[in-house]
Structure 1
Amino acid sequence: MPSLTRRSALKTTAAGLATALLRPIVGFDTMKPQLSFSTLGCPKWDMDTILKTAVKSGYQGVEFRGLQGELDLTKCPEFSTAARAKETRDRFASQGIRICNLGSSAQLHHADAQKRAQNLDGARRFIDLAQQLNCPFVRVFPDQLPPDQPREKTLQRISEGLLELGKYAKDKSVTVLLESHGELTRSDLLVQIFQSAKHPNVGLIWDIVNMWVDAKEAPKMVYEKLHTHIRHVHVKDVRIVGDTHRYVLLGKGEAPLREAIDALKAGGYGGYYSFEWEKLWHPEIEDPEVAIPSYPPAMKAYF
């Protein structure tokens, strides 16, 4: 009996030690950011290059905003059927990379019934694809405040469209995210939209630079107003040149990224910090072979 008791005690001790070793160390893993990059930054790369770069550079996720020039992902062979989508999902997952967001081009501000239907249908196709990929998020745009229609009416249309898509996404385990983008980067307008579109499957992509450059709002204040809605974050850096801004590698510009990231950390944000290098729209900026691998080491300075 004593030997059996001793053996049991040893097993219990070993099991407890194993469990303890599996737990994250407080203050360590909790401070390690989840990093992803948008394929907006590598518009010519094929799937092999995207995945290999993500693994080699130390990313945890990839955000798809087009593939080799095609912005409608549902038209790409790698995503064209449920079977192909599963192959792509499994391929990324086997390398420890999650497809964390799909960037649709859907705009919710349109008053024209046909344009509105086309944009909502496009968003729904992306939601269906996200479900097949086990991808948690689909991005949509607000996107404009047309001068020929009352602003309040436009905000109402955006809220109604966002709510409609959130309800559609609920049964598919997908959340629809409105990005602070275009003519809607002011926090007060975004708060108004989300107040009318309350739904567990609706959230915000906080594009830090968009709101700082366009709305001239301090990140700490933005976070205080919108933190309950933030599910995903777009990160980039800029240098102000006269009345315009120029995209530069992370840490080489003057965007108040530390203020934003400190606010996110203090608030317990655990989502992705996604590098949105706008190479597709600005071909003159650094090539992805330079920019994308440089992001993870540059982000270490903020953690």
Structure 2
Amino acid sequence: MRLGLVTYNVAKDWSVDQIIGTLGKLGYEAVELRSTHAHGVEPGISAEKIREVRDKFAQSRVRLLSLGSACEFHSPDEAVRAKNVKDAAGFLELAHDLGCWGVKVRPNGLPEGVPEETTIRRIGKALAECGDIGQRYGVEVWVEVHGKATQEPARMRAIMEACGHPNVGVCWNSNPTDIVNGSIRKNFDLLKDYIRNVHMRELMDYPSRELFTLLRSIGYDRYLLVETPTSPEPERYLAYYRALFLEMQRS
């Protein structure tokens, strides 16, 4: 398992050059570029900019793993859902052009006054549409376990079953709601067949050793991405995070 970073929070104000330089120096192997941040890697950028970004990562030790969008599909308004699918298509096309493995999307709750099964069915349908688009581009769709109510692993499993697309998987998000009596095993087992990416929080605030053990048990050989609050000393923080990450895997 390899360590990377989500630019959300810690690196939100960094340029592409700073991301590559800092992560390469600290031994991080991959990055997920979150939309709307200072690096400016967004759908609609020029072909020249795409080539520039792709070439910079290709010549570095840091893999441009994924793009982190805020596309979400829980709205009761069909037009809103359709717009989010269209927006996701833009990210999937850009991810293809940049050589990324995946695009992160999410649900963001259960709207009041709408039957839960209706919302889950709508989310699943939209995700399947995204899965078709991503499949054409050779890019996976990673659904973050996110949102009030929708971050519950049992509901996320229902969403994945409603989707039923082989190109759509889960981004395990290391949420407090994963933990039952100090363990994540029960909820991990609900989603283990779908996990394509992992976001990590503070290592000591979560059963991280158990997470590593469970990931190894399913043969997970992809990346684990740090997604934590910002720090006044980001380089120092990331260096210590990596050291603890490596030590906890040996334990």
Q: TM over 0.5, yes or no? A: yes
> Residues 114-263 of structure 1 correspond to what in structure 2 (within 5 A)?
114-183=79-148, 184-212=150-178, 218-237=183-202, 250=203, 253-263=204-214
Give 5+ residue unaligned stretches, structure 2. Answer: none
1:182 partner SS? coil
Is residue 216 of structure 2 the alignment partner of residue 265 of structure 1?
yes
2:6 to 28, 38, 41: 38
1:56 counterpart letter in structure 2: K
Give 5+ residue unaligned stretches, structure 1. Answer: 1-32, 238-249, 280-284
1:56 to 25, 28, 46: 25
Counterpart CA distance in 2 for 1:262 and 1:99 is 26
CA contact (8 A) 2:15 2:38 kept: no
CA contact (8 A) 1:72 1:104 kept: no
Shift of 1:292: 2.5
Counterpart CA distance in 2 for 1:192 and 1:209 is 18
Shift of 1:71: 7.6
2:223 counterpart letter in structure 1: Y
Match of 1:97 in 2: 62
CA contact (8 A) 2:153 2:178 kept: no
Relative contact order, higher structure (CA 8 A, sep 6+): 2
Alignment length (residue pairs): 247
Task: Give per-residue Cα distances to partners, 1:210-252, cap 9 Å, x unaligned.
Answer: 5436x88832122222111000000112xxxxxxxxxxxx4xx
1:277 partner SS? coil
Counterpart CA distance in 1 for 2:80 and 2:104 is 18
Counterpart CA distance in 2 for 1:113 and 1:169 is 21
What TM-score, normalized by structure 1, do the two folds share?
Answer: 0.76
Task: Give per-residue Cα distances to partners, 1:123-170, cap 9 Å, x unaligned.
Answer: 110000000011011011111101121111111111001001001110
Match of 1:274 in 2: 225
The alpha-carbon distance between structure 1 residues 72 and 254, as it changes in their structure 2 partners (threshold 3 A), is same
Percent of aligned pairs with the same amino acid: 30
Structure 1 residue runs of 4 or more that deviate by more than 6 Å after TM superposition: none
1:145 partner SS? coil
Query: CA RMSD, aligned part only?
Result: 2.0
Larger Rg: 1
Task: Give per-residue Cα distances to partners, 1:86-134, cap 9 Å, x unaligned.
Answer: 2211211211211111110101101112321221111110000000011
Match of 1:29 in 2: none
Match of 1:65 in 2: 34
Counterpart CA distance in 1 for 2:158 and 2:116 is 12
Counterpart CA distance in 2 for 1:97 and 1:42 is 14
Is residue 241 of structure 2 the alignment partner of residue 295 of structure 1?
yes
Shift of 1:59: 1.1
Counterpart CA distance in 1 for 2:164 and 2:134 is 14
